A and B are shown apart, each in its own frame.
Chain A
Amino acid sequence: MTQRGRPDAVGSAHEADPEGHPLDQHELSRRAFVKAAGLLGASGMLAAGGLLGVTSLTRIAAADDLDNATPEELAQRQWVFVFDLRRCDGCGKCTKGCQKMHFLPEGQEWIKVYTVTGAGGQIISLPVLCQMCEQPPCTKVCPVVATYREPDGVVLIDQERCIGCRMCMAACPYGVRVFNWDRPMEVPAAAQSTSPLFTAPQRQGTVGKCDSCAHRLREGDFPACLTSCSMDAIYVGDRIADVATNGTETVQLSEFLRTNDAFRLKEEFGTQPRVYYIAGHGQDLDF
């Protein structure tokens, strides 16, 4: 996982800090990291490279047994995704990786890569997963509270509770929810789980969707889409620590979003998604 992509990508994106000084990417991630977890031995972590920025943080939290964490402890992380569309070539490996991770049949996509034509005629590949809205319309309409938002910002479905009315599918403006019409795929006994963090096999007759790989985030691992992206286009980050990483480089989240003109999908619906996009269309940029 750590050895994917182009090694030279790390630290090659030079950004300017608010004062206008050029900042090395390593420096940026280090600062963000130290700010978030000042008690850690920063030097050792730095040596391990930017990737550890996020993973180490969560691993330490996981050591305190995040599964039994209080809401306050969970709220110490506020997960965010960033899709750098300048890098996305629409290959769909994220979709496949996600399906493998969650034992989904080919027709069921929790991260869909749409091909959209922009106003200038440019062909944009747009990966869309659960937008982890801060104001999720889906949880509002669920009649039995089977879908809900975790304190760390992840929206989940309890498929042991879902009655399968599909009202949440109607409410979601992003079309990310799917229904388990058919019998689910076989899942090896060791991988089976009924937890809303990771439900395998999927329960027939209930709604499913991207769970942000919440089980992996909390263990300090990356989501399956990120690890299967060969273009380093997917970042996962923590808003509180203000860091994000695509597995190869680590950036200061707020700075990265601000300087790269990040946008979110369908702001007008007031859903306040936690998924950001950097505009682009897979053009060959010099990273």
Chain B
Amino acid sequence: MDQALDHNPATAQQELHAAALRPVVDAGRRFWLLFLGLGLVAGAGAAAYALQLVTGGLSVTGLNDQVFWGTYEATLVAFIGFSYGGALVSAILRLTNAAWRGPITRIAEVSALATLLVGALFPIIHLGRPERVLLLFTGPNFQSPIFWDMVAILTYMLATFVLLLLPIIPDAAALHDNPRLGRWHRRLYRILSLGWTGTERQRRALERAVTIVAILIVPLAVVVHTVLSYTFSLTSRPGWHSTIFGPYFVIGAIYSGVAVVILAALAYRRAYRLQRWIEDRTVRNLGYVMVALGLAYGYATFSEITTEGFVGKQAEVELLFGLMLERYAPLFWSFIAFGLVVPIALIAIPRTRTPGGIALAAVMVILAMYLKRLLIVVPPLTRPVVGGDPGTYLPSAVEMAIVSGAAAGVVMIMLFVFRFVPVMAVDEMAEIEREQAQVVSRQLPAQATRVMSTREATDG
């Protein structure tokens, strides 16, 4: 942005417009190859789900009467968690008026929507009788955490849609007569622009609306992740029945979600040469947010293990031994290493705090946090509640195909959306720039110089 200031504002604006539309106008051959490859993976996932439906009772999974929840539940928690990160990045950065948010809010919002749309399929995929799911509406038990989940997820989904669509309004208005776009695109933009002409009144209304949704989405997302954790913690099972689970899930969600935003931003930045707008500084700031959340997640993990391990109740100690020293130790310590220590170090150490290093950290966090969700779901179930042998669970090929297909689906949705929606919130970025310029001009010249010079210094 600062570089953009050097140019003639009008030219800069045009260049920004063109850049934000690159994925729309000219996706490139590699885009279609990627889309096709992902389509094959997603298709395999869909076929696997069809197989699960035909056999009729989840017998194609590795689940059993002891470990009756597994990858589907972990995926549900993980994907909806990814979504939360995107929504919060967009909402909190707006509410705190962080100037560096401009180029990444759109990516964050689309990532929130894509992961949510796919994640919200898993409450259905994991059912033994998915054809009866409408009973949740027609004959619900208001006391059930699963009912709360459904209400929370659907409300949050609505808010995520609105949070994405509102800032698109001015962008769509600017585009609906762009001759470089096809007829269908222009028609779509005319609809999405909702008659936007950019009057002062409209601007104020839009700003207020975005602020309201941004404020709403914070508690909404907290609610979603808290009630998701309640499906585990509102049972009496050792390992699940824990008061920390609500906040633990919320922190874990944002932590992994920010990683997804970082990765998506870096991918688009690289594929469509957006370095001028999605600056290193922006990526670094996201990295700092991720580090802060990682530290919080590590703290929560430490706190949970210490309170349970110190007292030494039999069930908890058995679980902790299994996790830290025995059966699950390789997985658990992989999570500690690649989910917390290494990614935090990569961003903490200046030499590795490069876009590449941050991307690596984000990939690690995404994979390790998925693993962590499996470690939350499965080990407490393998421990028998009354007597008998420990249970076992290994995801079946069908489960793995469905989960891989879902991951591919998330990327496909993002790619698809950015074939229609500018990858950056052009109008909002211009707005931020105007605000910043006003702030600078209102300050004393000396102060202004200091602000500029510190900003340049941090830009590195």
The answer to whether the Cβ of B387 comes within 8 Å of any Cβ in the partner chain is yes
Task: Indicate whether A171 reaches chain B with its CB closer than 8 angstroms.
Answer: yes
Closest chain A residue, CB of each to CB of B64: A181
Within 8 A of B (CB), among A118-174: 126, 128, 137, 140-145, 161-167, 169-174
Q: Is the CB of A183 within 8 A of B385?
A: no
**Binary CB contact string for chain B from 107 to 146 against chain A (1 if under 8 A, 0 otherwise):** 0000000000000000100111110110110011101111
**A165-B127 contact, Cβ under 8 Å, with A205-B56, A205-B57:** yes
The smallest C-beta distance from B297 to any residue of chain A, in angstroms, reads: 24
Pick from A143, A171, A205: contact of B128, CB under 8 Å? A205
Are A167 and B386 neighbours in the complex by a CB distance under 8 Å? no
Contact B236 A162 (CB under 8 A): no
Whether B236 lies near A178 (C-beta < 8 A) is no
Query: Which of B227-235, B244-252, B413-421 lies at the interface?
Result: B227-235
**Is there contact, CB below 8 Å, between A142 and B144?**
yes
Q: Is the CB of B141 within 8 A of A206?
A: no
Complex contact B144–A206 (CB within 8 A)? no
Cβ B65 vs Cβ A179 within 8 A: yes
Shortest beta-carbon distance from A138 to chain B in Å: 10
CA distance A126 to B384 in the complex (A): 14
Q: Contact check: which of B132, B133, B141, B386 meets A175 at CB < 8 Å?
A: B386
Q: How far is the CB of B318 from chain A (nearest CB, A)?
A: 15
| Of A1-9, A10-18, A108-116, A248-256, the one touching chain B | A108-116
Interface size on A, residues (CB 8 A): 42
Task: Decide: B128 and A164 in contact? CB cutoff 8 A.
Answer: yes
Q: Report whether A163 and B128 are in contact in the complex, using a CB–CB cutoff of 8 Å.
A: yes
Task: Give Cα distance in the complex from A180 to B144, angstroms.
Answer: 22
Determine the distance from Cα of A194 to Cα of B59 in the docked complex, in whole angstroms: 22
Residues of A within 8 A of B66 (CB): 175
- Assess the A167–B145 pair: CB atoms within 8 A: yes
Write out the residue numbers on chain A whose beta carbons fall within 8 Å of the beta carbon of B150.
143
Contact between A164 and B129 (Cβ–Cβ < 8 Å)?
Answer: yes
Closest-by-CB residue of B relative to A145 is B141
B293 to chain A, nearest CB (A): 28
Q: Which residues from B are CB-within-8-Å of A204?
A: 56-57, 128
* A57 at interface by CB-CB < 8 Å: no
For the complex, is B63 an interface residue (Cβ under 8 Å from A)? yes
Q: A174 contacts which chain B residues (CB < 8 A)?
A: 385-386
Q: A137 near B386 (CB under 8 angstroms)?
A: no
Main secondary structure of the interface of A (DSSP, over half): loop
Query: Is B268 close to A, CB under 8 A?
Result: no
* CB of B221 closer than 8 Å to a CB of A: no
Please report the C-alpha to C-alpha distance between residue A47 and residue B154 in the assembled complex, in whole angstroms.
Answer: 65
- Contact residues in A for B387 (Cβ distance below 8 Å): 114-116, 126, 128
Interface of B is mostly: loop
Q: In the complex, which residues of chain B have a beta carbon less than 8 angstroms from the beta carbon of A265?
A: 386
Decide yes or no whether B69 CB sits under 8 A from chain A: yes
Residues of A within 8 A of B35 (CB): none
By a CB distance below 8 angstroms, the chain A residues around B135 are 143-144, 161, 163
Q: Which of A143, A164, A174 has the most CB of B within 10 A?
A: A143
B145 partner residues in chain A, CB cutoff 8 A: 141, 167
The yes or no answer to B169 lying at the interface (CB within 8 A) is no
- Taken together as a complex, chains A and B put the C-alpha atoms of A141 and B236 apart, in Å, by 12
Within 8 Å of chain A (Cβ to Cβ): is B20?
no
Q: Say how far A179's CB is from chain B's closest CB, in angstroms.
A: 6
Give the docked Cα–Cα distance between A129 and B66 (Å). Answer: 15
- Cβ–Cβ contact A163 & B385, under 8 A: no
Residue of A nearest to B234 (CB): A141
Binding site for B on A (CB under 8 A): 108, 112, 114-116, 126, 128, 137, 140-145, 161-167, 169-175, 177-183, 203-207, 265, 269
Sample of 17 more A-B contacts, CB < 8 Å, known A114-B386, A164-B58: A141-B145, A141-B146, A141-B234, A143-B141, A163-B135, A165-B127, A165-B128, A173-B236, A175-B66, A175-B384, A175-B386, A181-B57, A181-B58, A205-B58, A205-B128, A206-B128, A269-B236
Closest 9 CB pairs of A and B: A164-B128, A205-B128, A114-B387, A143-B146, A204-B57, A143-B144, A205-B57, A175-B385, A144-B135
* 15 CB < 8 A contacts A-B: A114-B388, A126-B386, A126-B387, A140-B141, A140-B143, A141-B145, A143-B147, A161-B135, A163-B128, A163-B130, A164-B58, A166-B69, A181-B64, A183-B56, A205-B129
